[in-house]
Amino acid sequence: MFDPRDPYERCYWHYDSRRPLSIAQLIKLRSVDAYTAALIWLLLERGTSFIIAGPTDPKPGVGKTTVLNALFQFLPEGTALAYTSGMYEDFSFMQAPDINPANTYVLCNEISDHQPFYMWGRVARRYLLLPGEGYRIATSVHADTIDDVIYMLRQELGLKADALRRLGLIIHIGMIGPESAPLRRWVTTHFLRPYPDPERPGGVTPIPLSVWHESDDSFEHADQDIIDEIAEGAGMTPREFEAALKQRMQCLEEMSQRSNVTMDQMYEAIQNVRHQQGSQLALS
């Protein structure tokens, strides 16, 4: 049975990347820009669940695991990680006497029926309902668009709209260009609005936070009214959110200009930003 304490097993079960890259390295490679990454940082810091989606065409090395590993560093301080065992998962971790759903991210390497160490069917549905019980989740799927993700979760796995709205961020990554030298880009980043649209009470509304444009290799960001909505959902005023976003963006831009920033160095930089913000709040 899977032992998450063993680095070899984490790689075998596709939880750890064999060539990890920090978020600073991903920005340097132009896979994502600092603004998008800073916005995701703020949301994950407040315990948002997230899903990494990659193309259905099975291209090896698209980078879903690499992105998952990089984003784990944005999780709130004190977060506990609960690893799952694919189709063998029995969710017994929920019975642990010291488990606290509010600070636990439950990880699944992939939602698909391709391998027994991935989740599908009844087990996957049980996993995806965990946010309704106070847990956060982080996983990946094969899908080409946000509509494909919603279709898979709703039609193939039978999730209701209220369960889908708790799934937080969905980040689509893709490989662009020739196979000999492909570019990896975070094609879209969406946030699932956590409450129903009064005009479509049974629907799910994905809010686009970032969209990559192939024409000029640039990222288009959400309008200010959307950012203000995200700030309100995070329990912050627009001014507070803007200041926190700017602080994180500056950190990421600075780190991305350095060479080969490791995961440990990136984690230290993230912690420094959090401590600086804590000190500023104490003085205000």
Segment 124-179, tens digit of pLDDT? 999 999 999 999 999 999 999 999 999 999 999 999 999 999 999 999 999 887 77
How far apart CA 24 and CA 256 sit, in angstroms, is 4
Which residue in 64, 50, 68, 65 sits closest to 167, CA to CA? 50
* 8 Å CB contact between 207 and 167: no
**Is pLDDT above 50 for 283?**
no
Tell me what the mean pLDDT of segment 208-231 comes to. Answer: 96
Tell me what the mean pLDDT of segment 218-236 comes to. Answer: 96
For residue 51, the surrounding DSSP H or E stretch is: strand 50-54
pLDDT tens digits, one per residue of 59-74: 656 789 999 999 999 9
* Residue 8 to residues 12, 17, 213, 276, 282, Cα–Cα distance (Å): 6, 11, 37, 36, 43
Tell me what the mean pLDDT of segment 256-261 comes to. Answer: 95
Task: Give me the pLDDT at residue 281, please.
Answer: 53
How far apart CA 88 and CA 127 sit, in angstroms, is 12
How far apart CA 110 and CA 125 sit, in angstroms, is 13
> Where are the alpha helices (H) located in the chain, listed in sequence order?
7-12, 23-28, 34-45, 64-72, 121-128, 146-151, 161-164, 224-233, 238-256, 263-283
Task: Give me the pLDDT at residue 60, please.
Answer: 58
Name the range with the highest mean pLDDT among 3-12, 52-61, 139-148: 139-148
- Stretch among 119-133, 191-205, 240-254 having the lowest mean pLDDT: 191-205
Cβ neighbour number for residue 173 with a 10 Å cutoff: 24
pLDDT tens digits, one per residue of 260-273: 999 999 999 999 99
**Is pLDDT above 90 for 197?**
no
How far apart CA 206 and CA 190 sit, in angstroms, is 6
Residues pairing with 96 in the sheet: none
Residues 235, 240, 242, CA angle at the centre, nearest 5°?
A: 110
> What mean pLDDT is reported for the chain?
92
Tokens at 111, concatenated: 């939602």
With pLDDT > 90 as the criterion, what percentage of the chain qualifies? Answer: 78
Task: Give me the pLDDT at residue 34, please.
Answer: 98
How far apart CA 144 and CA 54 sit, in angstroms, is 7
How far apart CA 134 and CA 103 sit, in angstroms, is 9
* 8 Å CB contact between 124 and 35: no
Domains of the chain by range and CATH?
23-282 (3.40.50.300)
Task: Give me the pLDDT at residue 17, please.
Answer: 85
